Structure 1
Amino acid sequence: MARAHILVINAGSSSIKAALFDTDLHEVLRIEATGIGGAGEVRSGDSRSETPLPDHKAALGAIFDALAAQGIDATDLRAVAHRVVHGGPELTASARITPQVRAAIADAVPLAPLHNPHHLAAIDAVAKLMPDLPQCATFDTAFHATNPDVARRYAVPDVPETDGLQRYGFHGTSFAALVKGFEETTGTPLPRRLLALHLGNGASLCAIREGQSVATTMGFSPLSGLTMGTRAGEIDAGAVLHLVEVMGAEAASEMLYHDSGLLGLSGISSDMRTLTASDDPRARFAREHFCYWIARQSGSMIAAMQGLDGIVFTGGIGENDADIRNNVLAQLSWLGNIPHWVIPAAEEQQIARDAITLLKDHRLAP
């Protein structure tokens, strides 16, 4: 049926992941374009083809060609829905991409310089390739807009230099999907006070009370909170200032974002599977560090909810590493017999759901 699909786009610096959903939120097809900026490759199912991908426009064009090869024409698309990491202080709900919304995404580039520029490149590429095709965006920060001011604000002066400096939180699309699909997936009503653990190469916790985020471990950037694959997580601001002084800002940023976390602790790998298979004591310590800080910061999330009624794991590590789950649960055993679940991450489906909701609300013209 014409105009019956939502194409979800997750654009990075050198790749674009695309997933096609029908209006019943069933995934129909998955396509990935990699190697943007050079000799690229497009993968669709078992099919792979090498093709030059000099920029995001070429990559999106190749994705549309791959869709056409599968019998999906542009006229079959109701909308393109983008994952956008940072909505800044203005964009706190999914939205149709208008010139004003695009400008707000651009204004948030200084808050997410590693992500938002690539989202904008994909948005602009779709606009050039398919100018009449509606586009919308779901923001990773939006789910945490319900955090109270005492949770969101840093204890710094309210001066121009601190404008926009607040705890935004991330992984919101994952947490929103978890809330939406909880009862269907588990057969249990959503607990009133739920501790959600999104554990992957990036990792964060969310305190969810009555279906809304009231606290989360990530803050101004995705750097803070838990020990992650290559990100340092919790670190004293004074230590950061020290690193900037002795290394320079660029080198310090590179270390904290790309050379720290599990990789920095182990000196082996950022991949939890590699660390699991290793007998090196540093690998075991990195795994223990990961679990310790999950358990320790869980206490903060539980305090924000004033109690706990359930725990849920999601994300690549959360879903697949039973030893990590059992370690965390053992460290939280002082809470008593708290029910826990494992729910597969469904961020792309949530983004498609958001677009369909906008369609139904007549805020996104079909």
Structure 2
Amino acid sequence: MTEAVLTLNAGSSSLKFALFPARGDRPLATGLADRIGPEGTLKLKGRDGQPVAAAPGDLRSHAGAIRAVFDSFRGQYPDLTLRSVGHRVVHGGVSHAAPVTVTATVMAELEALAPFAPLHQPHNLTGIRAAAEAFAGVAQVACFDTAFHRNQPWINDAFALPRALYDEGVRRYGFHGLSYDYIASVLPGEVAHGRVIVAHLGNGASMCALHNGRSVASTMGFSALDGLPMGTRCGQIDPGVLLYLMDQKGMSAAQISDLLYRQSGLLGLSGLSNDMRMLETAETPEAEQAIDYFVYRCQREIGSLAAAVGGIDALVFTAGIGENSRLIRARICARLSWMGIELDPARNADNGPVISAAGAPTTVMVIPTNEELVIARAARAAVGLTEQEAA
């Protein structure tokens, strides 16, 4: 019998998934159900990373896509038994600082948080419902992007607004916590106990300051809009701009939301693309300005986070841009020599893991993130598979 746990990351029309053995951290299979609906597609990779055939299935709904995923897995592992399903859930609110097995009460709590993350939370919960329907009786485990940041100091948690709003939940939550959790777990030696700034740079981008492996401050706040510019999200913005858009432009909340989440960031600045790879080769003034702005905001946030933890011992790049763009890493680090940051061009060209120059006071690293593994470990623990048993 092949016992396994399944991890799911549900979007509005997609499902990213991975099948992990009940014992062991190397996935048995990974894949993506994309464009869920009449034109849905399902792509799978086996343990060796090579494509494998997907079983026919109904990809018009999340529930149908999950069944097709599991049927495909059964084709590879006929004796497959699913022990639990772990889900990425963007928002856990104030109450959830650790993964939790989903009950009707927990589901109601997570549904109530939908206004705090309207573009993410409903889809995450759709994935939970679909998995519960497909796998009756199997534990569904919610793993929160906000949980890693829940023990930040109060001054890094609050806005300078009336206390009643803080008590209602208007506070800094921080996101990408599953990624930061993984990076913290694999930091080597003395670095793990030092002052580390992790740059999670992808289509969604943020940074987090760690001390002794714990989150102290993050660039994202109440929502996943704050901080760094992203693929299509604006990042830091003066609230007065939003008042201007409402009062002078007559824009509705829905229109402003669409502007900030879908039309801004690298796409808005370049007028071309949200994909950094395309911008790096575009050779247009607007694309170069978009890159310049992204680099500048990264440099500013690194300085701010270093101040929050009283210095910096290491800078870690991760996620799509952070792991793959030699140019962006080099440009971010170019003006940070005052922090002891100095890159070795050859190491940077090789994508690390250490890309700082020999003898540089501040270590600079590239570490691929693995949010799925964090979720899988939580899913195992929820059904009594300890780390020792799963090793």
Q: Same fold, TM exceeding 0.5?
A: yes
Q: Is the 8 A contact 2:191 2:314 kept in 1?
A: no
- Where does structure 2 lack aligned partners over 5 or more consecutive residues? 46-50, 341-360, 387-391
Matched, 1:63 2:63: no
Alignment RMSD (CA, Å): 1.8
Deviation per CA, 1:98-136: give whole Å up to 9, x if none: 222212211111111111111111111222221111111
Identify the residue that residue 222 of structure 1 maps to in structure 2: 224
Q: Is the 8 A contact 2:57 2:67 kept in 1?
A: no
2: CA distance, partners of 1:208 / 1:260: 29
Which residue identity lines up with residue 19 of structure 1 in the other structure?
A
Identify the residue that residue 27 of structure 1 maps to in structure 2: 27
Deviation per CA, 1:195-240: give whole Å up to 9, x if none: 1000001100100011100100000110010011111101001111
Q: Is the 8 A contact 1:83 1:137 kept in 2?
A: yes
2: CA distance, partners of 1:194 / 1:253: 33
Deviation per CA, 1:276-308: give whole Å up to 9, x if none: 111101111111110100010111111110111
Identity across aligned pairs (percent)? 43
Q: Is the 8 A contact 1:156 1:162 kept in 2?
A: no
1:67-78 matches, within 5 Å, as 67-73=73-79, 76-78=81-83
Identify the residue that residue 6 of structure 2 maps to in structure 1: 7
Identify the residue that residue 144 of structure 2 maps to in structure 1: 139
1:348 aligns with one of 331, 348, 372: 372
Which residue identity lines up with residue 42 of structure 1 in the other structure?
L
Identify the residue that residue 318 of structure 2 maps to in structure 1: 314
Q: Is the 8 A contact 1:40 1:50 kept in 2?
A: no
2: CA distance, partners of 1:42 / 1:144: 34
Identify the residue that residue 273 of structure 2 maps to in structure 1: 269
Q: Is the 8 A contact 2:318 2:367 kept in 1?
A: yes
Matched, 1:130 2:135: yes
1:172-183 matches, within 5 Å, as 172-183=177-188
Q: Is the 8 A contact 1:177 1:350 kept in 2?
A: yes
Q: Is the 8 A contact 1:39 1:51 kept in 2?
A: no
Residues 340-349 or 107-116, more deviating: 107-116
Q: Is the 8 A contact 1:112 1:221 kept in 2?
A: yes
1: CA distance, partners of 2:18 / 2:37: 22
Identify the residue that residue 343 of structure 2 maps to in structure 1: none
Identify the residue that residue 304 of structure 2 maps to in structure 1: 300
Q: CA deviation at 1:189?
A: 4.5
Identify the residue that residue 350 of structure 2 maps to in structure 1: none
Shift in CA distance, 60/145, structure 1 to aligned 2, threshold 3 Å: same
Q: CA deviation at 1:356?
A: 2.3
Deviation per CA, 1:57-87: give whole Å up to 9, x if none: 11111111111122255x5221110011111
Identify the residue that residue 348 of structure 2 maps to in structure 1: none
Q: Is the 8 A contact 1:43 1:49 kept in 2?
A: no
1: CA distance, partners of 2:9 / 2:181: 17
TM-score by length of 1: 0.93
1: CA distance, partners of 2:145 / 2:170: 17
Identify the residue that residue 48 of structure 2 maps to in structure 1: none
2:159 aligns with one of 154, 175, 183: 154
Which residue identity lines up with residue 60 of structure 1 in the other structure?
I
Deviation per CA, 1:5-47: give whole Å up to 9, x if none: 1100011110111101122111110132122232311111223
1:112 aligns with one of 112, 117, 129: 117
2: CA distance, partners of 1:254 / 1:162: 28
2: CA distance, partners of 1:188 / 1:316: 26
Shift in CA distance, 125/361, structure 1 to aligned 2, threshold 3 Å: same
1: CA distance, partners of 2:75 / 2:28: 14
Deviation per CA, 1:179-202: give whole Å up to 9, x if none: 11222xxx6641411010000011
2: CA distance, partners of 1:261 / 1:72: 46
Q: Is the 8 A contact 1:169 1:220 kept in 2?
A: yes
2: CA distance, partners of 1:72 / 1:151: 50
Which residue identity lines up with residue 96 of structure 1 in the other structure?
T
1:221-300 matches, within 5 Å, as 221-245=223-247, 246=249, 247-300=251-304
TM-score by length of 2: 0.87
Matched, 1:338 2:340: no
